[in-house]
């Protein structure tokens, strides 16, 4: 089973991308924008699957380079994600990679369609001590993200996937939960 959210924390990033794409006029090319990420939340998927609360922290940076029109062309991810169980046991993974904008076009309905190539860790990589990699998605994906004329998110699709793709199945969840239980 795949996690019930797009990889690499796509949802909040899509909102920022939509705002940039909807901004009128061209601006001079700016230096790369670095956004610090420092977030903690209860991982609802693993909390339900494990039967105990799992805290999920994300720390690091996302660096965005834009073209002369202010449209994002490259995003570099350097994130450390930590899962914390009730006894303080942890699983840590590094989420690194690059998303490169391949095209931004308007479709017949007036939607903005962004095509990205993502490389690196593509959302998750769980390595459990004594078991090795139990679930992971790494390599290269071509992704298509659609926004309506107002910049609202409409659709997300992976149109090409190459590399390691090991879904989070029952055995992986059991191994993750056992490790986090301490």
- pTM of the complete model: 0.73
Lookup result for tokens 């459990």: 128
Residue 3 vs residues 74, 115, 129, 130, 154: alpha-carbon distances, Å: 25, 22, 21, 23, 19
Smallest CA-to-CA distance from 147 within 6, 20, 7 is with: 20
Residue 150 has phi, psi (to 5 degrees) of -90, 0
Residue 95 structural domain: 7-22+32-181
Residues 135, 7: Cα–Cα separation, whole Å: 13
Percentage of the chain with pLDDT > 70? 84
∠ CA 25-15-163, nearest 5°, is 110
Q: For the chain, which residues score pLDDT lower than 70?
A: 1-29
Domain count, the chain: 1
Is 27 part of a structural domain of the chain?
A: no
Q: What pLDDT is recorded for position 6?
A: 40
């Amino acid at each position: 089973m795949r996690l019930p959210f797009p990889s690499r924390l796509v949802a909040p990033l899509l909102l920022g991308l939509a705002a940039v794409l909807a901004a009128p006029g061209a601006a001079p090319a700016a230096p790369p924008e670095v956004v610090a990420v420092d977030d903690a939340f209860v991982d609802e998927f693993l909390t339900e699957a494990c039967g105990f609360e799992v805290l999920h922290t994300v720390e690091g940076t996302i660096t965005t380079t834009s073209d002369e029109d202010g449209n994002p062309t490259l995003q570099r991810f350097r994130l450390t994600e930590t899962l914390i169980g009730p006894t303080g046991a942890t699983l840590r993974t590094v989420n690194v990679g690059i998303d490169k904008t391949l095209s931004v076009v308007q479709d017949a309905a007036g939607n903005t369609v962004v095509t990205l190539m993502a490389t690196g860790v593509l959302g998750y990589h769980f390595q459990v001590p004594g078991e090795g990699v139990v679930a992971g998605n790494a390599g290269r994906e071509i992704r298509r993200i659609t926004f309506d004329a107002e910049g609202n998110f409409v659709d997300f699709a992976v149109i090409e996937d190459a590399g390691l793709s090991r879904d989070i199945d029952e055995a992986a969840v059991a191994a993750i939960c056992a490790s986090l239980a301490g």
